[in-house]
């Protein structure tokens, strides 16, 4: 019985997307592949090796645990984008992992600075991490030089790429501080995937951090699909008029002989409840999710063309992720990568 779920990952698509970025944005030195959250849910090993062989020459992650996992599969540079607990600094040094610094007091608290590599984060409006104080940033530089810390880069993060006014303000804030700093940074990176599609190369920058585009999470036709999520019909049920479906009786049949199919995937696997009402694909035809999504099962309104054990594409391809994101945006998510990151490790991965 075909009862499993499979996340299908197209490694050729990832390779194409890396090469496309390098070809179209060739005036950069550093192409930083963002592989946070288990490479956006796609798994580290094969994705990292594919990215590296295709031209990615640096990687970015969110925390020390991710960095140590990524280090198993690459000797390229790795940057942790969020602050690291002081007790983990030695792990970073031993494994040649770069850390983000945005606070002079945090920098001073680090006991072992020998061979430590850092990127200084500027806060230009997002107010998550980073400093916006020139005096403090200059102090970080002077402290680092004095204590043998290698300043590998400086960066900020575009947080609202489609809003040109906000982006212009961010770049002005970055350049205002950068112009006053008497230091030559090996790496300067500001662009992320979304901003890369909107803006020309920013002054001073020689690196870009790419996430969504590598995984095909864009409607831009230059980039290939990477992800599809498959399940199977494990039960076909015929309803009578007035029958209800699932928790809270959230769907009621309006006619006799209405058919529903049940698939073994639910919110425990990342298919959250706001997906109710959107379409999945069976035999290249669209069918609607009905009723409340269960922890491990979902109901599909089907017809007589759908048979037991037929394959169901819960996510047809990477561009379908964009359509799903648009469908559920008002109720839950605002990022297509959130949809893929929610697909957890109890779904097997298949690489093609």
CATH number for the 227-351 domain, one of 2.40.37.10, 3.50.50.60, 3.30.420.40, 1.10.260.40? 2.40.37.10
Dump pLDDT digits (tens) for 329-352.
Answer: 765 556 888 889 888 778 999 999
Is residue 13 within 8 A of residue 216, CB to CB? The reply is yes
Three-state DSSP class for 117? strand
| Spatial distance between the Cα atoms of 103 and 136, rounded to a whole number of angstroms | 8
Dump pLDDT digits (tens) for 207-245.
Answer: 999 999 999 999 999 999 999 999 999 999 999 999 999
Residue 195 has pLDDT above 80, yes or no: yes
| Spatial distance between the Cα atoms of 67 and 260, rounded to a whole number of angstroms | 44
CATH number for the 11-215 domain, one of 3.40.250.10, 3.30.420.40, 3.30.930.10, 3.20.20.10? 3.20.20.10
> Within the chain, which residue ranges are assigned CATH 2.40.37.10?
227-351
Residues written for the chain: 352
> Within the chain, which residue ranges are assigned CATH 3.20.20.10?
11-215
Q: What is the DSSP letter of 122?
A: B
Owner of token pair 């020309």 = 200
Owner of token pair 């090469």 = 19
- pLDDT grade for 38, boundaries at 50, 70 and 90: very high
User: Which residues are CB-neighbours of 321 under 8 A, at least 6 positions away?
Assistant: 217, 227, 315, 336, 339, 340
Find the mean pLDDT for residues 80-101: 95
The whole-number pLDDT of residue 330 equals 64
- pLDDT grade for 1, boundaries at 50, 70 and 90: very low
């Amino acid at each position: 019985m075909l009862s499993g779920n499979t996340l299908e990952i197209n490694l050729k698509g990832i390779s194409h997307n890396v090469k496309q970025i390098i070809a179209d944005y060739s005036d950069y030195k550093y192409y930083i592949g963002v592989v946070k959250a288990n490479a956006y849910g796609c798994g580290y090993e094969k994705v990292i090796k594919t990215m590296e062989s295709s031209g990615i020459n640096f990687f970015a992650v969110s925390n020390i645990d991710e960095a140590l996992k990524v280090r198993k599969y690459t000797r390229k540079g790795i940057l942790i984008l969020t602050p690291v607990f002081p007790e983990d600094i030695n792990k970073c040094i031993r494994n040649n992992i770069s850390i983000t610094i945005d606070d002079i007091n945090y920098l001073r608290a680090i006991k072992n600075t020998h061979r430590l590599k850092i990127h200084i984060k500027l806060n230009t409006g997002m107010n998550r991490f980073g400093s916006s104080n020139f005096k403090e940033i200059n102090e970080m530089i002077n402290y680092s030089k004095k204590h043998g810390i290698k300043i590998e880069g400086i960066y900020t993060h575009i947080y609202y790429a489609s809003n040109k006014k906000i982006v212009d303000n961010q770049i002005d804030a970055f350049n205002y501080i950068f112009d006053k700093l008497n230091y030559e940074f090996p790496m300067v990176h500001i662009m992320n995937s979304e901003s890369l599609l909107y803006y020309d190369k920013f002054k001073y920058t020689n690196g870009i951090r790419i996430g969504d585009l590598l995984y095909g999470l864009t409607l831009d036709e230059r980039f290939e699909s990477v992800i599809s999520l498959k399940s199977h019909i494990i039960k076909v049920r015929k309803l009578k008029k007035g029958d209800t479906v699932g928790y809270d009786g959230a769907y009621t049949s309006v006619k006799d002989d209405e058919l529903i199919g049940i698939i073994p995937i639910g919110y425990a696997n990342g298919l959250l409840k706001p997906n109710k009402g959107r379409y999945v694909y069976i035999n290249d035809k669209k069918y609607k999710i009905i009723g409340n999504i269960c922890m491990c099962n979902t109901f599909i309104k089907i017809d007589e063309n759908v048979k037991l054990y037929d394959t169901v594409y819960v996510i047809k391809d990477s561009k379908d992720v964009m359509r799903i994101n648009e469908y559920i945006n008002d109720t839950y998510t605002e990022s297509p990568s959130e949809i893929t990151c929610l697909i957890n490790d109890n779904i097997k991965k298949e690489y093609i």
